[in-house]
Amino acid sequence: MGEIVGAGLLSHVPTIMLPEKTRRELNNGEETSLVTGLRRLRREVFDVLDYDTVVVLDSHWATTVEYVVTAQHRRAGLFTSEELPRGMCRIPYDFPGDPELARAVAAHATGQGTWITPIDDPYLPIYYATVNPWSYLGVPEKRWISIGVCQTADAEDNLRLGRALAAGIADTDRKVLLIASGALSHTFWPLRELRAHEASGIEHIYTREAAEADLQRIEWFTAGDHAKVLDTMDEFARFKPEAAFGHYLMMAGALGEQACVAPGRLYSEYENSVGTGQVHLWFDRPADGWTLEATR
């Protein structure tokens, strides 16, 4: 029987892929903690835990009529971002996929009242919400797969995907790490103002209210109060979390939703990225496992 052995809400912000010299120039001479945090996460978690597959809940991959899970045997190539080709250009990636797990997750779609399709097309695009974390955390021959957010889905749909994900993992022998790859509040500064707000300080978050909302949720996460985060999603929606916070909601659905009390460990400071709220949080598997009442 498979299990989720750890999970993270991680930033994939494009800044982490810039040369260190450029990062420091944008940040008043300082290194961003989002880079040092990923390096520490690699040392303390990804190089230590026993796991088989990483599942990325990719907030940059928007589908429309269903959830899609990658099912290729291997994904390899060079990635250039259509959004930011100057900073993310010809990034190499090469990792095995996990078609068996992808199909196992999709097999639970009907039972959870949703739609999930595994796709093994080698020409399926890849997105930087997957490539950037892999660039820091990828380990040779560890499997990585991605699941996109569905742009027509609501919070309940995202939770259902998470329940199917947990059930599919349980049907296999896989030990899985989940990455909810995306931001908190997500409003960019307008172009003519943007370059005055590229440093990491939270004074550059788009509004003070958005920063306060993000910091409140970080406090709840570190306390293990996932129920409070879930119960206040309508309130948080005012601050336009990335992908309607679908990446986190899918992860929460896989970890037990309101029953999840796993405290988050901070692997970065709370930082700005041109108006948006960014952080790395890691949730260790509880000693007695996740409480997956919602999947039963």
The per-residue pLDDT for 289 is 87
The DSSP H or E segment spanning 70 is strand 67-70
88 strand-pairing partners:
none
Beta strands in 159-223 (DSSP E): 175-181
Query: What residues contact 277, with CB distance under 8 A and at least 6 apart?
Result: 183, 184, 185, 186, 202, 205, 210, 211, 214, 270, 271
Domain span including residue 135? 3-295
Q: State how far Cα 196 lies from the chain centre.
A: 27
The per-residue pLDDT for 291 is 75
Q: How many domains does the chain have?
A: 1
Place of tokens 């994904």: 75
User: Which CATH number is 52's domain given?
Assistant: 3.40.830.10
Return the structure tokens found at 140. Answer: 């040779």
What single-letter amino acid sits at 254?
A
Cα–Cα distance for residue pair 273/93, rounded to 1 Å: 24
- Mean pLDDT, contiguous 10-residue spans, the chain (296 residues): 97 97 96 98 98 98 98 98 96 98 98 98 98 96 98 98 98 98 98 97 98 98 98 98 98 97 98 98 93 52
**What count of residues does the chain have?**
296
The per-residue pLDDT for 295 is 41
Q: Is the dihedral of CA 86, 211, 149, 106 positive or negative?
A: positive
Cα–Cα distance for residue pair 25/3, rounded to 1 Å: 43
The per-residue pLDDT for 290 is 84
Residue from 246, 260, 76, 217 nearest 148 by CA: 246
Neighbours of 268 (CB within 10 A): 21
Cα–Cα distance for residue pair 69/119, rounded to 1 Å: 6
